Amino acid sequence: MLQANFTKYPLTFKRPSGTSRGVLTEKTCYFIKVHDSDNPEVFGLGEISIIEGLSVDNPSQLEENLKWVCQNINEEITTLFAQLMDFPAIRMGVEMALLDLKSGGKRVYFNSHFTRGIQPININGLIWMGDTSFMLNQIKEKLAQGFKCLKLKIGALNFEEEYKVIQAIREEYDEHELEIRVDANGAFSAEDALSKLDRLSELDLHSIEQPIKQGQWQEMAQLCEETELPIALDEELIGTYDPNRMTEMLETINPDYIILKPSLLGGFRAAHQWIEAAGEMSIPWWATSALESNVGLAAIAQFTGQYYNPLPQGLGTGQLYTSNVDSPLQLDGQVLSYNPETLWDLSSIKW
């Protein structure tokens, strides 16, 4: 007989981090653990990560649904997931905990060359929004650390200011020396997006994520057709769980890339369904963490490590917090690796 319980865990940013949705200083996550009643010392650990304004999980109903999960943890996972259709972050946490318990409670969610310490993952460096000098200082730091691919959050400042920041980078580093991705988080309007994308395409960018808000399939399809700048779908994927609907979206929009955030998509099963749907159309993908602690980040990295995806992944958020969980993840420049000899330290989690 399985038993489960959960706890709230505060994550404090080392420094305020700007996005198009505002500046973040702290973030709350929840941990859930599942164990056999006969052996409570061996437990599976999962993380429920919420980004206010982006996650579809209703914060006011989160704890109520977590209590329901703990009371019904012995139900079939399909039954649990059907009840949690509108709570993808909880689905992710439950799936994580059950996968971990199956592996013997060792936080090995997916066994691969990555978890065995053989095959690391290249990641992009994340540049947070702020004034021009702040963004340029971050860029210099990342380049000094050895990053060859940077992702810039745009859409919060004046477009001309942001353009000049990227232009300044390009004057020093061409596209062969440095790959630049930008993420608009849906900040552009459908009316002026094309002109902005055409301007940005002059800077030899790798791609832009979600230039306009999700749900505008025809407008997004037109942008993908008319601009030379490759477009990656990000928020567009959130809230779509039916494989037929996934295929319909991809066929309608025909993006250049898709980006997978398992915490926002409903877990790893859902992410894999997106990979399969995109694969039918030869659409490349990369995975991105969604401000998880090292627990969720490790699980997403392990999931990604199964596929041997050559593209730089968006898995570098583990160093954002002062209150993180110590894990076997190691970051050396742009290389994220997993040391199986390093023990997890979960002492900061109070149940």
Beta strands 285-287; 231-233: pairing state:
unpaired
| Model confidence at 9: pLDDT above 60 | yes
Residue 196 annotated in active site: no
Q: What is the mean pLDDT of residues 179-188?
A: 94
* Domain end (from 40, 68, 102): 102
Residues 219 and 328 both lie in one domain? yes
Assigned domain for 288 exists: yes
Q: What is the pLDDT of residue 20?
A: 52
Q: What is the pLDDT of residue 127?
A: 87
Q: Where are the beta strands (DSSP E) in 195-305?
A: 207-209, 231-233, 257-260, 285-287
Looking at the structure of the chain, the number of domains it has is 2
Q: Please give the mean pLDDT across all residues of the chain.
A: 93
Annotated catalytic residue, options 27, 153, 164, 350: 153
Q: What is the pLDDT of residue 19?
A: 56
The domain in which residue 41 lies consists of 2-102
* Domain end (from 74, 102, 130): 102
| Model confidence at 130: pLDDT above 80 | no
Q: What is the pLDDT of residue 22?
A: 62
Assigned domain for 268 exists: yes
How far CA 46 is from CA of 6, 32, 213, in Å, comes to 9, 5, 30
pLDDT in tens, 280-300: 999 999 999 988 999 999 999
CATH number of the domain at 222, please. Answer: 3.20.20.120
Give the length of the chain: 351
pLDDT category at 120 given cuts 50, 70, 90 is very high
Assigned domain for 113 exists: no
Q: Which amino acid is at 92?
A: M
Residues 91 and 129 both lie in one domain? no
Lowest mean per-residue pLDDT among 6-20, 147-161, 182-196, 295-309: 6-20
* Domain end (from 41, 70, 102): 102
Secondary structure letter of residue 177 according to DSSP: T
Assigned domain for 217 exists: yes
Residues 186 and 324 both lie in one domain? yes
Residue 261 annotated in active site: yes
Q: What is the mean pLDDT of residues 151-177?
A: 88
Instruction: In whole angstroms, give the CA distance from residue 209 to residue 160.
Output: 18
Q: What is the mean pLDDT of residues 34-57?
A: 92
